[in-house]
Amino acid sequence: MEINPVKGTHDIIGDEAEMYSFYEYDCRLMAELFGYKEIRTPIIEHTPLFLRSVGESSDIVTKEMYTFDDKGGRSLTLRPELTAGVMRSIVSNKLHANADLPLKYFYCGPCFRYERPQAGRYRQFHQFGVETVGVSSYLSDVEVIILGKRILESLGIDKVKVLINSLGDEESREAYRKALKEYFAKHIDKMCGDCKRRFEINPLRILDCKVPEDQEFIAGAPKMKDYLSDAAKLYMDNVEEALRKAGIDFEVDDNLVRGLDYYTGVVFEYHMEDDDIGAIGAGGHYKNLLKEVGGPDLEGVGLSFGLERLHYVFTKYHEERPQSGPDFYLMPMNDEAVDLAFSLADILRSNGFAAEMNYEPKSFKSSFKIAERKRSKFAIIIGEDEIAKKQITVKNLKTQEQSSVNTDDMLMVLRSMLEEYIQAQNVEEAEVK
Ligand code: AMP
C-alpha cells in the first residue's frame, strides 16, 4: 500500500532544499548583522503556553493546533509559531537575569497549523524570525521592520509593500473594542459563525475575516486610528518618521490586525506589490507576552518570514540560482577501474572536491549522459589505457576539451583546471548581467 504524504505537508528535495538553506543562511547573516543570536527551542510545548500567548480568540488556537495527549496524559501541541516557545525559553532559562537587555534572538524551524492547504499555505511550513525583548523604545520596532526589508533586499526581492498599523495601547484598545462592539451588534446576526464567536471573545479579530459577504460590514466599521490615545498616536508617529528617515516605503493599513492575540501597539506585514500570495513576513510589538507566560514585565517586538512564501516569491521573480553539481564525475570503464575510481573519489573528497562516480562500468555514451544530467563540471575517464599509463583522462564538460593527467600530479592539475573553469564561468555570468 502506498503511503502518501500528510495533507498540507511537502517534501523539499535536492536543489529545492539547497535553496531553502540559502534563504536560511541569508536571513541568518542579516540577523547577525543586527546583533541577533540563534535560539533553538523544541517543536513540542505544553498546550497552555499557546492558549496564554497566541490567545484563545485566535483562529490558530480555536481550530488550527495539532494538540494531543502524550503517554503520560499531558496535553502537548506542535508549535504553530515560534515566538511563544522563545518566550517560554527566556523564562525557563532566566535569560533576562544575566544579560544586557534587550535580548535579541533569531530562530528557524518548522511550524504546524491545521489550515486549509492552498497556494502558499501549508500544514507544516517553516519560519525564520527574530525577537527583541526588553526595550520599550519605538526604535526597536523600527529596527525590526528595517531588518525584514533588508532581508528581502538581500534576496533580491524588491517590489515589496510594507504595511503597518497601530493596535494602540490598553486604553486605546479598550475604547476601540467598545466602539466595535456597538457597531457590530447591529450586524452580527448577518455575519459568519466565526465572526459571531469573535464578537463574543475579541471583536477586533472580526476585521481579519475573509468571508466575502462580511466585507461590507467590515468596511463600515470604526477605525482604530480614531481611538488611539495621545501616547499611542505619538508612538506611531515616531515609528513612521523613523521609517521615512531610513528610506523605507510603507503604507498605513487600518485593517491590519494580525492573527495572534499577543500583539499590542505597532504591527506590520510584508506583501508583494503585484501578487496575492498573502504576507511573506509579519510581526509586531507585544507588551504583555513575556509576563503572560510567567516572565518579568518586559515588552518585545518580533518578526517572522515564511520560508515557503520566500521561496515562492524568489523563484517567481528571479532566475533560480545556478544549480550545483559535482566538480568531477568518475567514469570507470572496467572492473579494475571501478576500484581505482573509488579510491580516487575518496582522495578528491578529502581534498575538498565534490566527486561522484559510476559504481559499475558503463558505456561512454551513458556515462557522459549521467555526468551531464548531474551537471558535473568535469568527467574523469579511467579505462585500460589509463590504468596501464597511470593516468586519468579529464574532460571539461562545458568546452569539451580533454587531456591526460598523471595520477601522481592529479590533485595539483585538477585544482588548477577547476579554478580555470570557475573563472570562465564568472566571466560568462558577468557578461550576461
Ligand atoms: P504568523 O505567525 O501568522 O504571523 O505568520 C508569519 C509568516 O509565516 C506569514 O507571513 C507567512 O509567511 C508564514 N505562514 C503563516 N502561516 C503559514 C502557512 N500555513 N503556510 C505557509 N506559511 C505560513
> Domain with 366 in it: what CATH number?
3.40.50.800
Write the residue with the smallest CA distance to atom 16 of ligand 1. Answer: 121
Tell the residue nearest (CA) to atom 8 of ligand 1. 306
Nearest atom in ligand 1 to the alpha carbon of residue 304 is 6
Cβ(282)–Cβ(208) below 8 Å: no
> What's residue 320's pLDDT?
59
Task: Give the residue ranges of the chain where pLDDT is below 50.
Answer: none
Closest residue by Cα to atom 4, ligand 1, is 282
Q: How far apart are CA 164 and CA 253, in angstroms?
A: 6
Query: Has residue 251 been placed in a domain?
Result: yes
Q: How far is the CA of 409 from the centre of ligand 1 (A)?
A: 53
Phi-psi group of 99: left, alpha or beta (phi > 0 → left; psi -120 to 50 → alpha; rest → beta): beta
* Domain boundary pick from 288, 317, 346: 317
> How many angstroms separate the alpha carbon of residue 306 from the centre of ligand 1?
5
Examine the domain organization and report whether 335 and 312 are in the same domain: no
Same domain, 260 and 380: no
Distance in Å, CA 123 to ligand 1 centroid:
10
Listed residues 317, 349, 368: the one ending a domain: 317
* CATH number of the domain residue 107 falls in: 3.30.930.10
pLDDT at 207: 87
Considering the domain boundaries, does residue 406 fall inside one?
yes
Final residue belonging to a domain, choices 317, 340, 361: 317
Residue with CA at minimum distance from ligand 1 atom 3 = 259
Which pLDDT belongs to residue 258?
Answer: 81
Do residues 273 and 409 share a domain? no
Quick: pLDDT tens for 140-160: 999 999 999 999 999 989 899
Both 105 and 251 in one domain: the answer is yes
| Chain position carrying cell 509586531 | 284
Ligand 1 geometric centre to CA of 258 (Å) = 11
Co-location of 57 and 90 in the same domain: yes
Contact (CB, 8 A) for 175 and 232: no
* 116 C-alpha to ligand 1 centroid (Å): 13
Give the residue numbers spanning the domain of 43.
14-169+229-317
Q: Which residues line ligand 1 (CB under 6 A)?
A: 81, 113, 115, 120-122, 125, 127, 259-260, 279-282, 304-306, 308-309
Same domain, 260 and 119: yes
Given ligand 1 and candidates 86, 111, 128, 263, which is best to mutate, with the most ligand atoms within 8 Å of its CB? 111
C-alpha distance from residue 305 to each of 151, 194, 311 (Å): 10, 26, 11
Domain count of the fold of the chain: 2
Position in ligand 1 atom list of the atom nearest CA 306? 12
Q: Let me know whether 313 and 368 are in one domain.
A: no
Same domain for 259 and 365, yes or no, is no
Contacts 24+ apart (CB under 8 A), 414-419: 414/327, 414/328, 414/348, 414/353, 414/378, 415/351, 415/353, 417/378, 418/327, 418/353, 418/377, 418/378
- Of the residues 127, 128, 157, 268, which should be mutated to test ligand 1's pocket, given the most ligand atoms within 8 Å of the CB? 127
Q: Are residues 259 and 369 in the same domain?
A: no
Query: 197 lies in a domain?
Result: no
Residue 224 lies in a domain: no
* pLDDT value, residue 261: 81
How close is the Cα of 26 to the center of ligand 1, in Å? 19
